[in-house]
Chain A
Amino acid sequence: MTYMYNSLNMSDAALFIGTPQEKFFYHNTLLCVVNSLQGKNVTVDLRNDTYVCGLIELVDGFMNISFKNAIYCDPQGNEFAFDNLFIHGRNIRYVHIPENMSLLSTIRHEVSKKFYKPHMKQLTEKTRKTKKAVMQHMKVVASLNT
């Protein structure tokens, strides 16, 4: 189950990523390439031999993609237009990447723009136990210095 809340402006949306596993996938796999295609018009081949052409609105940690102004085409040649289309990550076979993209710089850019800060809050959270431990440590240090 993926829970996604997007802010009003979709660029660099503060994604609420549901599970730690999803968070890991989002930041540590080649998903960043698909992520960098947000706001671009791409073609996605699905596992059922159909394909979707459209503007990628959002991608999440499981590669679920929501499209805007999508055209869904089946092997018989029928085309269906949708304002919004959501495809489940598991159903994706290929994503056609625009060839003028430089992969390395895109990946570097994606990895560097981490708005995900690794739980700094926990480090500053002082429980009574940690506070006591720190006090004790300071006392010992002070006694050593004298």
Chain B
Amino acid sequence: MADDTENVAVMTVKEPWDLIRLSLDERIYVKMRNERELRGKLHAYDQHLNMVLGDAEETITTVEIDEETYEEVYRTTKRTIPMLFVRGDGVILVSPPVRVSI
């Protein structure tokens, strides 16, 4: 076993806020109300879950029902914003980016 001195910051995770604190300066996935998702680098957050995201990409998912075939068509619209302040009352959840398994 390699004996390397790991500089691991000892951070006791006591409450859910600590989990978000761990994600500071990391890329995160935010699920928001109205079928919106945000991916970006978490620069700042507060107790209301107001957040500042850098290089944010917003994905809006819409379901359109085809008149003829009556099938549901899921459409997504994306846009990128360099620095975005998100108001906390729209946030549902915060998570590390959803990784697609290989």
Q: Mark A93-109, 1 if CB is under 8 A from B, else 0.
A: 11111110101000100
Contacts of A92 in B (CB 8 A): 87
Q: CB < 8 Å: which of A34, A90, A98, A107 contacts B83? A: A98
- Does the CB pair B83–A99 fall under 8 Å? yes
Q: CB of B64 within 8 A of chain A? A: no
- Does the CB pair B86–A94 fall under 8 Å? yes
Instruction: Give Cα A103–Cα B41 distance, bound, in whole angstroms.
Output: 13
21 pairs across A/B with beta carbons < 8 Å?
Answer: A28-B46, A29-B47, A29-B48, A30-B44, A30-B50, A30-B85, A33-B44, A33-B52, A33-B85, A34-B85, A90-B89, A93-B90, A94-B86, A95-B85, A96-B83, A96-B85, A97-B83, A97-B84, A97-B85, A98-B83, A103-B43
Q: CB of A31 within 8 A of chain B? A: yes
Q: Mostly helix, strand, loop or mixed at chain B's interface?
A: strand
Q: CB of B82 within 8 A of chain A? A: yes
Q: CB < 8 Å: which of A30, A47, A94 contacts B81? A: A94
Known A-B contacts A29-B50, A31-B50, A47-B90; the reply to A96 vs B81 at CB < 8 A is yes
Chain A contact residues, CB within 8 Å of chain B: 28-31, 33-34, 47, 63, 89-90, 92-99, 101, 103, 107
- Does the CB pair B51–A30 fall under 8 Å? yes
Q: Mark B79-102, 1 if CB is under 8 A from A, else 0.
A: 001111111011000000000000
Instruction: Give Cα A29–Cα B84 distance, bound, in whole angstroms.
Output: 16
How many chain B residues touch A (Cβ–Cβ < 8 Å)?
Answer: 18
Q: Mostly helix, strand, loop or mixed at chain A's interface?
A: mixed
Instruction: Give Cα A95–Cα B56 distance, bound, in whole angstroms.
Output: 12
**Residues 9-31 (chain B) with a chain A CB within 8 angstroms:** none
Chain B contact residues, CB within 8 Å of chain A: 43-48, 50-52, 81-87, 89-90
- Does the CB pair A93–B46 fall under 8 Å? no
- Does the CB pair B87–A103 fall under 8 Å? no
- Does the CB pair A99–B82 fall under 8 Å? yes
B85 closest partner in A (C-beta)? A95
Contacts of B86 in A (CB 8 A): 93-94
B38 closest partner in A (C-beta)? A94
